[in-house]
Amino acid sequence: MMGMDYDTMPGSRQPAPMKDGPEVKAAAEMDHGTMQMQGGVAPADARDPHEYSGGYELGVGKYALGDRRQLKLADEHNFGSILVDTLERAKSRDGYGTRYDVQAWFGRDFDRFVIKAEGDIANSKLQDARTELLWSHAVASYWDAQFGIRQDSGVGPDRRWLAAGMQGLAPYWFEIDATAYLGRSGRTALRLGAEYELLLTQKLILQPRAEFNLYGKRDAAHERGSGLSDGVVGLRLRYEFSRQFAPYIGVERAAKFGQTADMARSFGEPVRETRWVAGLRFWF
């Protein structure tokens, strides 16, 4: 309540007044310059820490490295890696097939050479394959701009494209890969891919994944229509014996859309199918 004097309340504790005793006077008169640091006083023959080189300098004397700089930082070295993201056996109503998705790179943090390869093999024959040779340049944190060429092979005539895209890590840890393509005779294409890794435990990881392809022109030789052509949405569960070695099982749903679906129906092929997969993911 306003106006109440708490100092006069019963049971209130008052701070003890500071007394001018001998302990206080001793603390005030202490000379910190006479205090010894930890380890005591250095001996008379102690070595000067600034003379650890024995009098030699970096660019002078018999140990001089010369005009060429010998030491390099980590981002000045070239490194490489190969990631086999998907090497699996898939089962659908049409039978079994083998699929692969590999990415390799060599270079530095900001500039590197990238190879992407993805394909399907059925009945001991390559059905559809996409191989890209790209130059990748870091344009922002976690994002690379990529430019190069793409080669399509397998059943039907080969197709070649110019490629330009972005690959990186979006907010909330979504891995994004988006690339646009320009081919001969005015052909255009767009490929969009995204995946996410959900850690159930430190070794058990659930990975949702989606990929869609769009084309600007009809391509009857490859049974592709214009617009949204096809897409795959899948779910894979892998167990990492180590970060570099992980077998997995999963399921995915594949579908064809628009004109591509109409072409598939005319040839008696399925428009939508479910695939069960088992494979291996590793990198080095």
Q: Which residue has the higher pLDDT, 17 or 216?
A: 216
Q: With b meaning 16 or more CB within 10 Å and e meaning fewer, what string describes 68-100?
A: eeeeeeeeeeeeeeeebbbebebebeeeebbbb
Cα gap 239→245, rounded to integer Å: 9
* Contacts for 145 with CB less than 8 Å, ≥ 6 apart: 136, 137, 139, 164, 165, 166
Cα gap 149→162, rounded to integer Å: 5
- Which pLDDT does position 2 carry in this prediction? 46
The yes-or-no verdict on residue 154 having pLDDT over 70 is: yes
Give tens-digit pLDDT for 182-225. 999 899 999 999 999 999 999 999 999 999 999 999 999 999 99
* Contacts for 106 with CB less than 8 Å, ≥ 6 apart: 78, 79, 80, 112, 113
Give tens-digit pLDDT for 25-45. 555 555 555 555 566 777 777
| Residue tagged 């892998």 (tokens) | 238
Half-sphere exposure of 28 (CA within 13 A, CB side): 6
- pTM comes to 0.74
Give tens-digit pLDDT for 180-191. 999 998 999 999
- Beta bridge partners of residue 278, listed in sequence order: 89, 249
Give tens-digit pLDDT for 46-71. 766 656 666 666 667 776 666 676 67
The yes-or-no verdict on residue 11 having pLDDT over 60 is: no
The yes-or-no verdict on residue 24 having pLDDT over 70 is: no
